[in-house]
Homo-oligomer: A and B are copies of this chain.
Amino acid sequence: MTLEEARALDATDALAPLRDRFVLPPGVLYLDGNSLGALPRAAAEAVATATTQQWGERLIRSWNEGWMDAPRRVGGKIARLIGAEQDEVIVGDSTSANLFKLLVAALRADPARRVILSEAGNFPTDLHIAEGAIGCVPGASLKVVARGDVQGALGPDTAVLLLTHTHYKSAERWDMDALTRAAHAAGALVLWDLSHSAGAIPVNLGGAGADLAVGCGYKFLNGGPGAPAFLYVARRWQDRLASPLSGWMGHAEPFAFVDAYRPAPGMTRWLAGTPAVLGMAALEAGIDVWADVDLAQLWAKSAQLFDILHAAGAAVGLECVSPIAPNARGSHISFRHPHAYALCQALIAKGLIGDFRDPDIIRFGLTPLYLSHQDVWRAGDLLREAVATEAWSDPAYQVRAAVT
């Protein structure tokens, strides 16, 4: 593809006007929105309002003027993006904490089933938290198998199948319908981690018949650094599962101040402590941008952006580890390179921000809300040039720092 062809695609891009809703620093091609989404202009305003007006002026009264209901309200807005009903999603805590709540609850659903089944190389916190969860349920264990062996490992002891829908490193996407069916056929629940799927690709939890899901707010949803995470429980499970993190905000009557815990009806029981108001304000503004987005258009554009960057990598012989078939992947593209870390640093120095994943992966997020075809064409051009000139060989780019 030529730059002119990329421009032509931009000229007819229905999503192009959304770019103006984001702050993007000049001189930077930001292809890391899968790690931290860009700042929506409205989020900066919402956070300022929450701070100076709601906190500063209204003070404690703001709890009755929108804060208290925010976890349900923002959850309801996320629902459409993941194919859920509004009363099936709530926002609060981190993805890790929400995974813990749901895994422990799922392990308790059927005493005959004690195994969490997951994939080797899943996002680390999913496996780490699963370790923590099995420590909280007598007899529980964690079975981690290679990706290709997951479906065959489902069995009569499986309590819950824990899968990350889109793989954080490779962008490989599980077939949500098929794996949900397989889990159910084995009598197990399924818990989908949508951190790299929500806002990246169309997701239909309800259509798949999924039981449980979590996901993070700060990647494709553009909710801000460390944004509150979301949690989904299908209606049929809402009365039967309860949270081990039984904090007061999940109580049926939090302001009755009684000693005994009694879980609230519906999704409210999955709350624990006081909601993180400032983070919630940013997240809500980020989610509101999505109200005008056609997810089919989003996904079509993501596929075009993928093809542009894939072609650039192929031109210099980069090994792409992401699936070529669009319906088998999420909305990022990853290449394998023996000097991936230094290559990533060299590209950052040239104004292209992607990220590195140990040991040899360089990863680029494709975020159609604020990336144009031209942006990605230019990113590809920088990538091609950096590989062709062996930019990674500069020792300055080989010094490792803590990265995310």
Give the interface of A toward B (CB within 8 A). Answer: 23, 25, 28, 30, 32, 35-36, 38-39, 43-44, 47-48, 50-52, 54-64, 67-68, 93-97, 100, 104, 120-125, 127-129, 131-132, 135-138, 144, 169, 216, 218, 224-229, 243-251, 254-261, 272-280, 282, 348, 353, 355, 357-358, 401-404
CB of B62 within 8 A of CB of A225, answer: yes
CB of B401 within 8 A of CB of A64, answer: yes
Chain B residues with Cβ under 8 A from A357's Cβ? 257
Number of copies of this kind of chain in the complex: 2
CB of B60 within 8 A of CB of A259, answer: no
Cα separation A278 to B50 with both chains bound (whole Å): 11
A-B contacts, 16 of them at CB < 8 A, read A23-B52, A25-B59, A32-B60, A47-B47, A64-B401, A67-B225, A94-B272, A94-B273, A96-B248, A124-B257, A131-B260, A132-B246, A136-B137, A144-B259, A216-B274, A226-B273
Distance in Å: Cβ of A378 to nearest Cβ of chain B: 17
Cα separation A389 to B37 with both chains bound (whole Å): 56
CB of A100 within 8 A of CB of B59, answer: no
Distance in Å: Cβ of A57 to nearest Cβ of chain B: 5
Chain B residues with Cβ under 8 A from A131's Cβ? 246, 260-261
CB of B96 within 8 A of CB of A245, answer: yes
CB of B128 within 8 A of CB of A246, answer: yes
Distance in Å: Cβ of A169 to nearest Cβ of chain B: 8
Distance in Å: Cβ of A348 to nearest Cβ of chain B: 8
Distance in Å: Cβ of A61 to nearest Cβ of chain B: 8
User: Among the listed B25, B51, B229, B401, which residue makes an inter-chain contact with A39, where contact means beta carbons less than 8 Å apart?
Assistant: B51
User: Among the listed B28, B54, B97, B121, which residue makes an inter-chain contact with A272, where contact means beta carbons less than 8 Å apart?
Assistant: B97
Cα separation A58 to B228 with both chains bound (whole Å): 21
CB of A247 within 8 A of CB of B60, answer: no
Chain B residues with Cβ under 8 A from A67's Cβ? 225-226
Additional pairs, 13, CB under 8 Å, beyond known A32-B59, A63-B402, A136-B137:
A25-B59, A30-B59, A35-B60, A36-B60, A60-B355, A93-B93, A95-B273, A124-B254, A124-B259, A129-B245, A131-B246, A218-B274, A226-B276
Distance in Å: Cβ of A195 to nearest Cβ of chain B: 10
CB of A51 within 8 A of CB of B57, answer: no
CB of B276 within 8 A of CB of A124, answer: no
CB of B132 within 8 A of CB of A243, answer: yes
Chain B residues with Cβ under 8 A from A93's Cβ? 93-94, 97, 273
CB of A273 within 8 A of CB of B229, answer: yes
Chain B residues with Cβ under 8 A from A259's Cβ? 120-122, 124, 127, 144
Chain B residues with Cβ under 8 A from A95's Cβ? 273-274
CB of B32 within 8 A of CB of A128, answer: no
Which of A35, A127, A225 has the most CB atoms of chain B within a 10 A radius of its CB?
Answer: A225
CB of A403 within 8 A of CB of B224, answer: no
Cα separation A285 to B120 with both chains bound (whole Å): 41
User: Among the listed B51, B122, B229, which residue makes an inter-chain contact with A282, where contact means beta carbons less than 8 Å apart?
Assistant: B51
Nearest B residue to A22 via CB reads B56
CB of A225 within 8 A of CB of B129, answer: no
Chain B residues with Cβ under 8 A from A30's Cβ? 59
Chain B residues with Cβ under 8 A from A47's Cβ? 47-48, 51, 278
Chain B residues with Cβ under 8 A from A58's Cβ? 25
Chain B residues with Cβ under 8 A from A279's Cβ? 226, 276-279
Nearest B residue to A256 via CB reads B358
CB of A25 within 8 A of CB of B261, answer: no
Distance in Å: Cβ of A242 to nearest Cβ of chain B: 9
CB of A248 within 8 A of CB of B136, answer: no
Cα separation A132 to B263 with both chains bound (whole Å): 11
